[in-house]
Structure 1
């Protein structure tokens, strides 16, 4: 084989690797976006909400002067 033939195939393979890497990055971003959307969706459901009373010990109450 000639050197030019191998170079053209190498460039095509390199381009394909870059396209696949870009596609993987896009799919990763879309997956993370979907996961964040699901977290927000479930966190907004009334049954999944948790109310925490951080002042139950009265350690954070305001003084009468305020």
Structure 2
């Protein structure tokens, strides 16, 4: 917001003043989510766990549903 005011109107405004005005107007800033990073070990471990869950839970359920 502060950068936009400077870019469009050429006026410098303190970030605290911008925050106060935004709060009075009920505006909230859109904040991006932080990206989740995984090491290759974590990815390998996660894939192993998913394969175990798939083979022990999902496959038997599929066979039960198919046999009905």
Same fold (TM over 0.5): no
Structure whose alpha-carbon radius of gyration is higher = 1
TM-score (norm 1): 0.37
